[in-house]
C-alpha cells in the first residue's frame, strides 16, 4: 500500500497524476493530508476541482513556526502509521510536510519515495533547500524531473540505482487539466481582463514577504511594470502576504488584489498572462511549460532549466531590476523548449514502485 502524503496546493496539483496512475493501475493507495495549507481556497477546493479522492485523514495542523509545524505533522503521521503501516511513503517537493513525512518514514524503516527530487538552489538560507536536501538523503526512490536534478543527486553521493529521471508531474497536470480549465473557468471575464493584456503576480516566500524592504521593493517594481505597459496587475494574494503588507503599511495602489483562486482559475490566469512575476518554484515551471514569460522575484532558483531555455529571468526584489528584467523577457521569443518531460511522470513513478515489489 502506498501512502501519499501532501499538505499544500502545489503538492495536491503535482501528486494528482500519481493518484490517477494508482487508480488506473489498480494500486492500493491512500492520501494523508497534513493541513499545512489550512484555508478552504488553498486546499479542499483543489480536491473537488481535480476530482481527487478525499484524503482518509486530515491532520489539520495549520500554521506555526517551522519547528512547530514540522513537529505537529510528524506526531500526526507517526500515529497514523502505527495504526496502519504502509509499504511505501510518497512525499513531494520541499515543504515541511515532505520533510516530516520523510523523517517519520525513515525512522520507522518505511521506504520513502521523493517526487521532484534533486532540485537545488544552493542557498541554505531558504528553509525549502534544507527540506529538499534532507528528504533526498533519506529516500530510497528519488524521482528527479530533469537531467540536472539527477546530476545534483549524483554529485552528493547518492546511489545512482535509487535515482530515476521521470520528468515532472507538473507537465502531466497541465496536460490533464488545461482543456477542463478552458471550458469551465470564467476567471478572465470575472476580473475583466483580456488575454495577453495583463500581468499576473504571486509572492509568498517568507524571505520576501516577511522582509519590509524586499516586499516593498517587489510591490514598487510590479507597479512600475504595470505603469510602463499600461496593463492591469492581477495578484491572487496569499494570506501571509496580505497580512505583512498591511502590517508594513505598503501602498499597493494600481494592483488588483484578489483572494487565492482554485487551480483551474489560476491555470487560466497563467496561460493568458502577458507576463508572470513570482517567487514560486511551481509557478516558474508552469509558466515555462505554458510558454508565458516569467520574472522570478528571487536571486536564485532551484528551477535553473527555466532560465537556461529562456523562459525565466531572476530579478530579485530591486524595483529597477524587476522593470529591466520584465523588459528583456517580454521582448524575447516565447518559443523555448519544455525541459520537464512528456507528461508521463505519474505513470512512470507508479510503474517503478510496482516493479520493485
- Whether 287 and 311 have beta carbons less than 8 Å apart is answered as yes
**Closest among 193, 255, 186, 188 to 219, alpha carbons compared:** 255
Cite the active site residues: 204
Could you tell me which residues come within 8 angstroms of residue 214 by beta carbon, excluding any fewer than 6 positions away?
A: 207, 208, 317
Per DSSP, 341 falls in state: -
Which cell numbers in the block locate residue 42? 488553498
Which cell numbers in the block locate residue 338? 519544455
Which cell numbers in the block locate residue 175? 496536460
**Closest among 311, 314, 273, 266 to 293, alpha carbons compared:** 311
Per DSSP, 134 falls in state: H
- CB count, 10 Å around CB of 171? 24
Residue carrying C-alpha cell 540505482: 161
Q: Measure the CA–CA gap between 343 and 341, rounded to whole angstroms.
A: 6
Q: Measure the CA–CA gap between 80 and 276, rounded to whole angstroms.
A: 40
- Whether 212 and 248 have beta carbons less than 8 Å apart is answered as yes
**Strand ranges of the sheet holding 255-258, from the earlier edge strand across to the other edge:** 255-258, 233-236, 199-202, 275-278, 294-296, 312-314
181, 182, 187, 191: CA torsion to nearest 10:
150
Beta bridge partners of 2: 29, 88
- Alpha carbon of 87 to those of 115, 144, 260, 278: distances in Å? 16, 21, 35, 37
Amino acid at each position: 500500500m502506498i501512502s501519499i502524503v501532501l499538505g499544500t496546493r502545489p503538492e495536491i496539483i503535482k501528486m494528482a497524476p500519481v493518484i490517477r496512475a494508482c487508480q488506473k493501475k489498480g494500486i492500493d493507495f491512500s492520501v494523508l493530508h497534513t493541513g499545512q495549507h489550512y484555508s478552504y481556497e488553498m486546499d479542499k477546493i483543489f480536491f473537488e476541482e481535480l476530482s481527487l479522492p478525499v484524503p482518509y485523514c486530515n491532520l489539520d495542523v495549520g500554521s506555526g513556526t517551522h519547528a512547530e509545524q514540522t513537529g505537529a505533522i510528524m506526531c500526526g503521521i507517526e500515529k497514523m502509521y502505527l495504526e496502519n503501516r504502509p509499504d511505501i511513503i510518497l512525499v513531494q517537493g520541499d515543504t515541511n510536510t515532505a520533510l516530516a513525512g520523510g523523517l517519520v518514514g525513515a525512522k520507522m524503516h518505511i521506504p520513502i519515495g521523493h517526487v521532484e527530487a534533486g532540485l537545488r538552489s544552493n542557498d541554505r538560507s531558504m528553509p525549502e533547500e534544507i527540506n529538499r536536501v534532507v528528504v533526498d538523503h533519506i529516500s530510497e526512490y528519488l524521482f528527479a524531473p530533469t537531467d540536472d536534478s539527477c546530476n545534483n543527486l549524483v554529485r552528493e553521493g547518492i546511489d545512482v540505482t535509487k535515482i530515476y529521471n521521470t520528468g515532472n508531474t507538473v507537465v502531466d497536470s497541465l496536460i490533464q487539466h488545461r482543456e477542463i480549465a478552458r471550458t469551465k473557468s470564467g476567471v478572465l471575464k470575472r476580473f475583466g481582463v483580456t488575454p495577453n493584456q495583463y500581468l499576473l503576480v504571486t509572492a509568498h516566500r517568507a524571505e520576501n514577504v516577511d522582509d519590509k524592504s524586499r516586499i516593498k521593493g517587489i510591490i514598487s517594481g510590479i507597479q512600475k511594470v504595470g505603469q510602463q505597459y499600461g496593463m492591469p496587475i492581477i495578484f491572487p494574494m496569499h494570506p501571509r502576504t496580505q497580512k505583512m503588507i498591511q502590517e508594513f503599511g505598503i501602498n499597493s495602489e494600481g494592483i488588483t488584489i484578489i483572494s487565492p483562486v482554485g487551480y483551474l482559475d489560476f491555470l487560466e490566469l497563467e496561460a493568458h498572462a502577458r507576463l508572470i512575476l513570482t517567487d514560486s518554484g511551481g509557478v516558474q515551471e508552469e509558466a515555462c511549460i505554458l510558454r508565458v514569460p516569467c520574472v522570478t522575484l528571487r536571486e536564485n532558483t532551484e528551477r535553473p532549466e527555466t532560465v537556461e531555455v529562456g523562459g525565466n529571468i531572476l530579478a530579485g526584489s530591486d524595483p529597477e531590476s524587476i522593470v529591466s528584467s520584465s523588459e528583456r523577457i517580454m521582448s524575447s521569443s516565447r518559443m523555448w523548449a519544455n525541459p520537464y518531460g512528456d507528461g508521463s511522470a505519474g505513470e512512470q513513478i507508479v510503474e517503478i514502485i510496482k516493479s520493485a515489489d
